[in-house]
Amino acid sequence: MSSPAQSDCILIADDHPANLLALEAVLEPLDRPIIKSSSGIEALRYLLDHDCSLALLDVAMPGLDGFETAALIRSRERTRHIPIIFISASARDETYVFKGYAQGAIDYVVKPFDPDVLRAKVTNLLALYRRSEEMRHEAALRGRERDELREKEQEARAEAEAQRKRLHTLLVQSPAVVAITKGPEHVFELVNERCQRLLGSRQVLGKPAREALPELLTQDVWKSADAVYESGNAFVGTEAAISLDESREEPQRQFFNFVVQPTRDPAGNIDGLMLHAFEVTDQVRARERERDAIRLRDEFLSIASHELRTPLTPLRLQLQSTLKCLDKGETDEADLRPRLELALRQTVRLGILVTDLLEVSRISSGRLTLQLEEMDLAESVRDVAERHEPEARNAGTTISVQTEPVIGRWDRLRIEQVIANLLVNAIKYGGGLPVRLTVERADGGARLTVRDEGIGISTEDQDRIFDRFERAVSVRSYGGMGLGLYIAQQIVDAHGGRIQVRSARGEGSTFMVDLPMSRE
């Protein structure tokens, strides 16, 4: 073996050194590196680690002849494209030549040969080999480029699918209401979990919107959707009131801020709609409650000022009249006593109003405290009823008390305040008909019942009459600040008890107060 290892070299294999030198001399003008091998084995050993552009193989080499060497060269992927020229001293036997071509020979040269012809053949084969290598290289590059493009396309598809899944997951799990429809009929294609909770048990996928949610036809929802689909302009709704539950006689309204925007196909044409909505019912209700609270406050201030002036006016008049009598020296007790008694009653009434206001302040600030002591509830009921006998007579009402001794640990003053508030209401709204108070043991505790036969309370008003400043009747018809039942309930709650009402419009009212025997 001789010469450096170069890819554009010419490999010669012949077992006769003289033949190697002769071939080298013939090919030297081509200015190519020439690798000489004295056997087929040596030539193959060289090709294990090196490349060459052409191989000239002597057919009749001992050991591994030229045909066998060519077969092994052709069997390896890296060397199978190397051009091979067989050199033989044999006569031109067609069978022998055919065997050479069958082993992958590009050409066949028989000794003696014309040096110019051999050089021409080698030159042509080298040019063809170079061109074929360039083509293979280009094909390999294009193949790699195709593979890279295919790989990038697969990666892009995988990334797009991953993004689609992520987007789908985000839409499905979004805390907002999300729905996607397709076509001018707005056929539901996707509703997320929040939207499905809103819809309840109804299944809307695959259904046109007007069929799936017919109750929205009267709420102009689909008119807005049609406009977005036709114009391509998004629609924004703020605090839109929507009623979805058609099973109720009066469906509950829910409020939403929402956006309806068009979706487009790859060509840019509108093919559907996407709804994205946040429920703001709590915020709207809170604002309504705030407005109601402000309204109630303003009404209360108006009522309170009226209620406070009501006892002050006769009180002032009686005191002025009494002073005039004294200025004139008229000191007849029979004349002065009624005036002073009336003034005292108005003072007591004024004191009750102020006490109620202070009690509301304590309750609102969490400063309602109880002074528990052992007491007889029946005794307190009788005492309160006796104190309000004059008021009942003035209203044309009789008070009947039916009690049995019930001893427990309660705050006497506050329990008597509850009794008084319920009794005053029964006298006020009783229409001059009898009022009955009973005390009994019930369910391991004490029960106070106050029953009147007056105007009664409608069912829709019964839930709110225990709220602060709330009243079941017009302030123009009946006085009061709307605090009595609120204070009574708060006191009963503080004792661990319960207050209930049973009533109907025009059928009177029954208030029941249940108290545990002790509040630990």
| Reported confidence tier of residue 219, pLDDT bands at 50, 70, 90 | low
pLDDT tens per residue, range 339-381: 777 777 777 767 766 776 667 667 766 777 888 999 999 999 9
Question: What is the model's pLDDT at position 98?
Answer: 61
Strand residues in 142-224 grouped as ranges (E): 177-182, 187-191
pLDDT tens digit string along 96-150?
Answer: 556 656 655 578 888 888 898 888 888 888 888 888 888 888 888 888 889 888 8
Residues of the chain with CATH 3.30.565.10: 368-515
The second-level CATH assignment, the architecture, of 174-279 is: 2-Layer Sandwich (3.30)
d(C-alpha 354, C-alpha 218), whole Å: 52
Asked if residue 63 lies in contact with residue 74, where contact means CB atoms within 8 angstroms, the answer is no
Rounded Cα distance, 191 and 164, in Å = 16
Q: How confident is the model at residue 477 (pLDDT cuts 50, 70, 90)?
A: very low
Task: Output phi, psi for 321, to 5 deg.
Answer: -65, -40
Q: Is 329 helix (H, G, I), strand (E, B) or coil?
A: coil
131 or 331, higher pLDDT: 131
Check residue 520 and give its pLDDT. 59
Q: CATH 3.30.450.20 spans which residues of the chain?
A: 174-279
- Looking at the DSSP bridge assignments, the partners of residue 449 are 438, 512
Query: Given the DSSP bridges, would you call strands 177-182 and 84-88 parallel, antiparallel or unpaired?
Result: unpaired
Closest CA to 84 of 53, 59, 106, 117: 106
Higher pLDDT, 163 or 14: 14
Q: What is the mean pLDDT of residues 58-85?
A: 88
In CATH, which of 3.20.20.105, 1.10.287.130, 3.40.718.10, 1.10.2020.10 is domain 285-363? 1.10.287.130
Domain ranges in the chain with CATH number 3.40.50.2300: 10-140
Q: Say which CATH architecture domain 10-140 belongs to.
A: 3-Layer(aba) Sandwich (3.40)
CATH architecture assignment, domain 368-515: 2-Layer Sandwich (3.30)
Hey, what are 481's tokens?
Answer: 């600040």
Is the predicted pLDDT of residue 396 greater than 50, yes or no? yes
Dump pLDDT digits (tens) for 416-467.
989 988 999 999 888 899 999 999 999 889 999 999 999 898 888 887 888 8
> Which of 202-206, 236-240, 318-322, 409-413 has the least mean pLDDT?
318-322
Average pLDDT over residues 481-485: 77
Give yes or no for residue 334 having a pLDDT over 50: yes
DSSP string for residues in 263-316 = EE-TTS-EEEEEEEEEE-HHHHHHHHHHHHHHHHHHHHHHHHHHHHHHHHHHHH
Among residues 392, 165, 194, which one has the least CA distance to residue 278?
Answer: 194
Joined together, the tokens standing for residue 363 give 């309750």
Sign of CA dihedral 290, 295, 301, 307: negative
CB burial of 374-390 (b: ≥16 within 10 Å; e: otherwise) equals: ebbbbebbbebbeebee
Q: What's the mean per-residue pLDDT of the chain?
A: 82
318 contacts: CB under 8 Å, gap ≥ 6: 339, 340, 342, 343, 346
Question: Which stretch, 84-88, 243-247, 334-338, has highest mean pLDDT?
Answer: 84-88
| 80 or 218, greater pLDDT | 80
